[in-house]
A and B are shown apart, each in its own frame.
Chain A
Amino acid sequence: MSALRGGRLIEVAFWLVPLAAFLLLPGYLMLGSQILIVALFALSLDLILGYAGIVSLGHAAFFGLGAYAAGLLAAKGWGEPLSGLLAGGVIAALAGFVASFLVVRGEDLARLMVTLGIGLLLYEAANRAAFLTGGVDGLSGVAMGKIFGVFAFDIGGKTAYLYSFAVLLLVFIFLKRLTSSPFGLSLRGIRENPARMPAIGSPVRARLVTAYTIGAAIAGIAGALLAQTTQFVGLDSLGFNRSAELLIMLVLGGTGRLYGAIVGAAVFMIAQDYLSGVNPVYWQFWLGLLLVVFVFFARGGILGAVEAAAKRLGRSSQERAR
């Protein structure tokens, strides 16, 4: 019981960190918003990979779709942010639903290839449709209205930061509920053993279609957030690099825990910002090293390592009490 309350306290403390950063680091709000948005994106991958066990190398397809949907709406004169966010999520969800039927079949390798293929397809489609997307130049002219008609996006990025934070927190609460529900348990069951699930009466494919669609929708919302807060959409929002980096962040933070996605995104983005400042050319060397070390020495990522340490601590304090 007290462990539960302790867990709650840690969670509250966790969510106070970004708010403290808002007050204490006003010079880093742009980076901060990016971290919050990428964390949201990583959460969407955690649902499909960390919980449902679907590997993906093309998750940026849905991020980019959401970004272009919201960006285009605003560029064409519909600058109301919340409906733009919704549009990004809905478009990505539709695409995710259609794609899920290809992804859900097949084994890991096939899934990697199919998701990779979908990502490449969309990238080239957006590149070709330059009349709509701006092609390699990117989509500019994204003019945002005020949130609730009250809060305008400011140069300092305060509104963007708090907006991103609020969306991240709301989606997180939704995902927390989803993953602790029977539906979430059934996704973990599928991840743990897809062969047993039908033998206990579970419609595996339907569950995976649902999970993949929700994951795509959240990725779309994250993309829409990026378009709205940076008022620009580049082709890279759909690119392979973004999908691959996302996978790195999630593995780094720890899969199947939700918090791992957020921690991984934050650590990755801050390390990238810092290391590329130290050495703009070779920073990926350190990133690669970090990744290899984590995969070998901390299987569950950063959060897995923290959990293991906490367990060891708890056990030794228990022994002391005895």
Chain B
Amino acid sequence: MSAALRTAGLSKRFGGLSAVSDVSLEIPQGARHALIGPNGAGKTTLINLLTGVLEPSAGDVFLGGERITALPQHLRVKKGLTRTFQINTLFPGLTVLESVVLAILERKGLAARWMRPVSSHRAEIGEATELLATFKLDRDAQRRTAELAYGRQRLVEIALALATRPKILLLDEPAAGIPSSESVEVLGVIAALPADVTVLFIEHDMGLVFRFAERITVLVAGRVLMEGTPEEVARNDEVKAVYLGREAHG
């Protein structure tokens, strides 16, 4: 069986700078895979290449065996490849409920319709309400997203992605900017996802990475330094030197 998500020789140059060089990954279905590396290692650029925000300079992206290198962003989402953003990328003026209902309407292909008001789409509103309840966001459903505290907005960020019912979920530092007590909660929701959903996540907090990841890819200066189980990564001297060492020096 082909991998859920695969890249072959993926590269991205910005002018003279190689942000991502020759990255070949293979993520099997249902994986809980972490992508780590120091700042500027090209992690977010890689996510942007996988999701179609950026066009690669070279290489290909495959989704379940299908080459999607040239597919626009929104069509990749339709195929089940969804991401979240490192910095909250939400709809500040929409209510939390409206935002999630919008994502559900898009998934169901109903968002271009204009004959019936949104308020009469009871199934979609019901689904959104249920989803918000799993994030304990139900009491904020009717509030404008901008009115929520950053940590609560972080949950909306992930709820929006889940509303698309992803087969593969790419999480760009899901716990960034929230206290560690709450970050466990955020990752807990992700850990509770159905086992067949593939999760690839970027995270700086090593505690979270070692807790949730089954496999880890270490990216340094745009290249894959190594890939392995958390134990293998923890034991690797190169990783210690380049990544953990730097972390220790702070």
Contact = CB atoms under 8 A, between A and B. Distances in A.
Given A180-B119, A200-B106, A185 B74 contact: no
Interface stretch (B91-99, B175-183, B198-206): B91-99
Interface stretch (A75-83, A188-196, A246-254, A303-311): A188-196
Interface stretch (B4-12, B15-23, B34-42, B107-115): B107-115
B51 interface: yes
Interface residues of B, number: 39
Interface in B89-134: 89-94, 98-99, 101-103, 105-107, 110-119, 121
A274 to B, nearest CB: 34
Interface stretch (A34-42, A201-209, A222-230): A201-209
B63 interface: no
Given A189-B102, A200-B103, A200-B160, A183 B89 contact: no
Interface string A153-181: 00000000000000000000000011011
Given A181-B118, A182-B121, A185-B105, A192 B91 contact: yes
Contacts of A7: none
A61 to B, nearest CB: 25
Q: How large is the interface on A (under 10, 10 to 19, 20 to 34, 35 or more residues)?
A: 20 to 34
B93 A188 contact: yes
B49 interface: no
A185 B106 CA distance: 11
B77 interface: yes
A186 interface: yes
A198 B72 CA distance: 9
Nearest to B100: A200
Contacts of A180: 117-119
Given A192-B93, A196-B90, A200-B164, A185 B102 contact: yes
A196 B89 contact: yes
Contact of A181 (B99, B106, B114, B163): B114
A182 B106 CA distance: 9
A189 B77 contact: no
B86 interface: no
Interface string A70-100: 0000000000000000000000000000000
A184 interface: yes
A199 B112 contact: no
Contact of B91 (A177, A183, A193, A207): A193
Contact of A207 (B73, B85, B112): B112
Contacts of B114: 177-178, 181-184
A183 B112 contact: yes
A186 B73 CA distance: 16
Contact of B113 (A183, A188, A196, A199): A183
Nearest to A180: B117
Contacts of B119: 180
A40 to B, nearest CB: 19
Name which of B52, B82, B91 has the most chain A CB atoms within 10 A of its CB.
B91
B225 to A, nearest CB: 28
Contacts of A196: 85, 89-91, 160
A177 B92 contact: no
Contacts of B116: 181-182
Given A180-B117, A180-B118, A185-B98, A202 B91 contact: no
Interface in B147-191: 160-161, 163-164
B141 to A, nearest CB: 15
B111 A192 contact: no
Contacts of B82: 199-201
B143 interface: no
B92 A181 contact: no
Interface of B: 51-52, 72-74, 77-78, 82-83, 85, 89-94, 98-99, 101-103, 105-107, 110-119, 121, 160-161, 163-164
10 contacts: A181-B117, A182-B112, A188-B91, A193-B90, A196-B160, A199-B82, A199-B83, A200-B160, A200-B163, A204-B74
Given A177-B117, A200-B161, 10 more contacts: A180-B119, A182-B102, A182-B111, A185-B94, A185-B98, A185-B101, A186-B102, A192-B90, A200-B102, A201-B77
